[in-house]
A and B are shown apart, each in its own frame.
Chain A
Amino acid sequence: MSINLTLLLVMGVLYAVGLYLLLERSLTRVLLGLMLLANATNILLLATGGYAGLAPIFNKDIPSSAYNDPLPQAFILTSIVISFAVTAFMLSLIYRSWLLSRADHIQVDQEDIRVAMQDLYDDEEDSEIAIEVSDFHENNQPLGKRETIPGIVPKRVIDAKAVATSKKDVHPESPVLKTPEVQSPTGEKE
C-alpha cells in the first residue's frame, strides 16, 4: 500500500498550527485553531481510507479492490457538517462576547477568584468564639478592641447585634445586592 506523504505532512502541519492557536487566549484564534484541528482530523480520516481508487459506483466488470473506500469520506462529510455548525455557533458566541465586554479574550471567572481568595476557614465551624464579658458595650467597638479570651485572636466575629441593626437598614422593598467586587488580574490590561 502506497502512502500519500503530502497528505500526512499537511495533516501534521495543520495539527501543529491548530494546537498552537488553540492555546491562545484570544477567542478568534481559538476558533481558527479548532477549525484547523477539525480539518487535520478530516485528512486523517481520508488517509485511513487507503490509497486512491475509482469512485465507488458499482460496476460488475470492475474488481472490488479497484474502488476507493467510501466510508471514510462519509465520515468526513458528517464531520464537516458538524464542525460547520459548531463554528457558526462559536462565531456568534464570540460576537456576543465582544458586544458584552468589548474584549476578544476569554473572561475571568469572578466567582472562582472570589472562592480562591476567601478565608481558609468557615467562620461558623472554625472561628474561636468571642467571649462576651459584658452585655453592654463591646458590641459597638471595633473588632480589634473587643474583649476576648487572652491569647486568642478573634477571627471575623459574627456579631448578632450588628447583623440585627444592618438588617433594619435594608428596606424590604429595596434589595441590597452586594456582589463581591473582585478585580480581575488580567482584565485591566486592555
Chain B
Amino acid sequence: MNVASLAPLAVVLPFLGAAWAFVLIRHPRAQRRVSLGTLTVTLALEVWVLARVWQSGPIAVELGGWAPPFGIVMVADQFSSLLLVVSSAVSLAVLAYATGQGAADGEESGPVSVFHPTYLILVAGVSNAFLAGDLFNLYVGFEILLTASYVLMTLGGTGSRIRAGITYVVVSVVSSLLFLIAIAMIYGATGTVNLADLAIKLGELDPGTQHLLHVLLLVAFGIKAAVFPLSFWLPDSYPTAPAPVTAVFAGLLTKVGVYAIVRTETLLFPTDHFNSVLLVVALLTMLVGILGAIAQTDIKRMLSFTLVSHIGYMIFGVALSSVIGLAATIFYVIHHITIQTSLFMVTGLVERRGGNSSIMRLGGLAKLSPILAVLYFIPAMNLAGIPPFSGFLGKLGLLQAGVADGSPLAYAVVVGGVVASLLTLLVVARVWNRVFWRSAADAEDPDAVLLSTAPDASGKESMRALRSSKHVDATEGRFSGENEVPILPKMMVYSTMGLVVLGVAMTVFAGPLFDLSQDAATSMLERTAYIEAVLGLGAGNP
C-alpha cells in the first residue's frame, strides 16, 4: 500500500482533533496539547506524502470504494501536496502563537475555549479544498473553512468584529452561492463533477457554454481570492479579528481561492483563455491594493491591503499560462503564505508591546525591543522583494515569465509589478521608520504603554517584561487577565521566530523549491498525469 494513499488523513486527523478538543473544552491545557499534537502529526504525514508524490507523481485515493468518476476522489499532486505542507506548517506556527497568547492572558472561561476546535476545523477545511478531486467536494471544503472562519472572525463578539464579521459572512455566502450555481450548471452541461472527468468533457462543450461556466467559476473564486474588483471585503474585515486569526486568514484563505483559480485555468479550461482579462485584473489588483496600503495608518489594515496587492502577482503568473509563469506563481504562493502570516504575527506582538497598531502612536520599538525589530525587518524586506530574499526570487521569476511572453499587455503588467513592488517597499519602510526607528517621543500621539515601559535589556528580558492590567484596553479586551500578564510571551515570540526562519529557509532552499514548482507546473499544464491518476491509464490521451 502506498503511503500517499494516506493523504485523506490530512482532513480526517484535524477533524478528530477538533472533536477531541471540543470534549476537553473545560481543560485548556489538555486542549492545547491535543490541538498542537494533532497538527504536528498532520504536518509530518503531509511531508511524507509530499516526498512520495514528488517521486511518483499524482496519486488519487478513492473514498468509499466507488470508482471515479462516480465516487468521491481525493487527489494529491505536486501542487496540492506542496501547499498542504506549507499551510500545515504555517497553521501549526499560528496555533502555537495563539496558544502562547491564550496561556499568557488566562483563558479559563469565555469564548476563547471554542478557538481550538474551530481552528482545527478550519485546517481540515483548507486541507479538504486542496485535496478535493471533484468540484462539489471543493465546495464542501470551502464551506468547512468558511464556516469555521466566521466563528473565528467574530470571536468575542465585540462591536467592531460583529460589524466586520457580518460583511465577511454575507460576501462569503454570496461567493459560495455563485460557486454552487456554477457547479449546478456544469453538472447540467456535462453530467459530472469529477475534476479529471470534467477536464475531458468540458473541452467537448460549445465554446459559448464554456465561456459562461468559466466566467462563473472565476468570479466565485475571484471573490474568495480577493482579486481586484472583488477584493473590497478583505481590508474591511481582516484587521478587526484577533491577531492569530488575522495571521492565519491572511496566509491561507485567499490562497485557497488562488489554488482554485489555478486549477480552473490549468485543469478545467486549458483551451478557453481569458488571459488578457486576467492580466488586466492582475495589474489592477497589484496597483489598487498597494495604493490602498499607502493611505493606511493602521499596520493591520495596511498589511491587508498589501495582501490584496500581492494576490495580483499570483494571478499574473496564472494568466501567462506558461510553465515558467505557473512555476513562479506556485513559488510565490508558498512564499507569500509564510511571509504574510509572519508579518501579521509580528504586528500582533507589536500591538502587545506598544499597546497600539497605529503608526501614528508608535515609535522607538527598535530600542525598546530589538528582537521585534529583527522579526519585522526580515519578512518586511522579503515581502518588498529585496534581494536575496524569496520574495525577490518569486518576483524575478514572474517578471521573466512576463518578458518571455512578450505581448504588450504582459510588459505592462511587468512594469506594474515593479511599481507595486517599489510601493510595497515604501509602505513597509514607512512602518519601519515610524514604529521602530524614530524615538517614541517623536510619535504624533504616543501610546501610554510605549512611554511607561522600560527597554528590554535582551531578548530573554523582553519576554519576561510585565504589563499591569491597568492598561487593559476595554474595547478590544486584549488583556483579559486580572493579574499582570507577560507582555511578550515566549511561545508567541518563538512561534513568530519559527515562521520567519521558515521564510528565510525558503530563500536558502529556493533552488530545490523552484525545481519542485517547475515540476508541478509542467505536470499541471500537461494534465495527463492528473487525469490518469484519477481515471486510469490512457484516459488522458483522447
Partners in one complex: yes
Q: Residues on A close to B: CB < 8 A? A: 22, 27, 30, 34, 37-38, 41, 44-45, 47-48, 71-72, 75, 78-79, 82-83, 85-86, 89-90, 93-94, 96-97, 100-101, 106-107, 109, 111-112, 115, 118, 122-125, 158, 160, 163-164, 167, 170, 172-178
Provide a sorted-by-A list of 24 A–B residue pairs whose CB atoms are within 8 angstroms: A22-B174, A38-B177, A41-B177, A44-B184, A45-B180, A47-B188, A48-B188, A72-B184, A72-B187, A83-B173, A86-B150, A89-B150, A93-B162, A93-B165, A97-B166, A106-B163, A109-B163, A115-B295, A124-B433, A163-B441, A167-B446, A170-B448, A174-B470, A177-B473
Is A173's CB under 8 angstroms from B452's CB? yes
Is A170's CB under 8 angstroms from B451's CB? yes
Q: Which of B258-266, B296-304, B521-529 contacts A (4 or more CB under 8 A)?
A: B296-304
In the complex, whether B449 has a CB less than 8 A from a CB of chain A is: yes
Is B181's CB under 8 angstroms from A111's CB? no
Is A82's CB under 8 angstroms from B147's CB? yes
CB distance from A146 to the nearest CB of B (A): 18
Is A124's CB under 8 angstroms from B170's CB? no
Of the candidates B163, B173, B433, which one forms a contact with A97 in the assembled complex, judged by CB atoms under 8 Å apart?
B163
Please measure, in the bound complex, the distance between the C-alpha atom of A89 and the C-alpha atom of B170, giving whole angstroms: 11
Please measure, in the bound complex, the distance between the C-alpha atom of A137 and the C-alpha atom of B452, giving whole angstroms: 30
* Residues in B neighbouring A164, C-beta threshold 8 A: 441
In the complex, whether B167 has a CB less than 8 A from a CB of chain A is: yes
Is A173's CB under 8 angstroms from B470's CB? yes
* Residues in B neighbouring A175, C-beta threshold 8 A: 355, 447-449, 471
In the complex, whether B405 has a CB less than 8 A from a CB of chain A is: no
Is A178's CB under 8 angstroms from B177's CB? no
- Size class of the B contact interface (CB-based, 8 Å): 35 or more
In the complex, residue of chain B having the shortest beta-carbon distance to the beta carbon of A35: B173
Write out, one digit per residue, whether chain B residues 71-101 have a CB within 8 A of any chain A CB (1) or not (0).
0000000000000000000000000000000
CB distance from B353 to the nearest CB of A (A): 14
* Residues in B neighbouring A47, C-beta threshold 8 A: 184, 188
CB distance from B530 to the nearest CB of A (A): 22
Q: Residues on B close to A: CB < 8 A? A: 136, 140, 143, 147, 150-151, 154, 157-159, 162-167, 169-170, 173-174, 176-177, 180-181, 183-185, 187-188, 193, 236, 239, 295-298, 301, 355, 430, 433-434, 441-449, 451-452, 468, 470-471, 473
Please measure, in the bound complex, the distance between the C-alpha atom of A175 and the C-alpha atom of B448, giving whole angstroms: 5
* Residues in B neighbouring A94, C-beta threshold 8 A: 166
CB distance from B120 to the nearest CB of A (A): 17
In the complex, residue of chain A having the shortest beta-carbon distance to the beta carbon of B154: A93
Please measure, in the bound complex, the distance between the C-alpha atom of A78 and the C-alpha atom of B144, giving whole angstroms: 12
* Residues in A neighbouring B298, C-beta threshold 8 A: 111
Is A167's CB under 8 angstroms from B451's CB? yes
Is B173's CB under 8 angstroms from A115's CB? no
Is A41's CB under 8 angstroms from B448's CB? no
Q: Which 5 A-B pairs have the closest CB atoms?
A: A175-B448, A48-B188, A172-B452, A107-B163, A45-B184
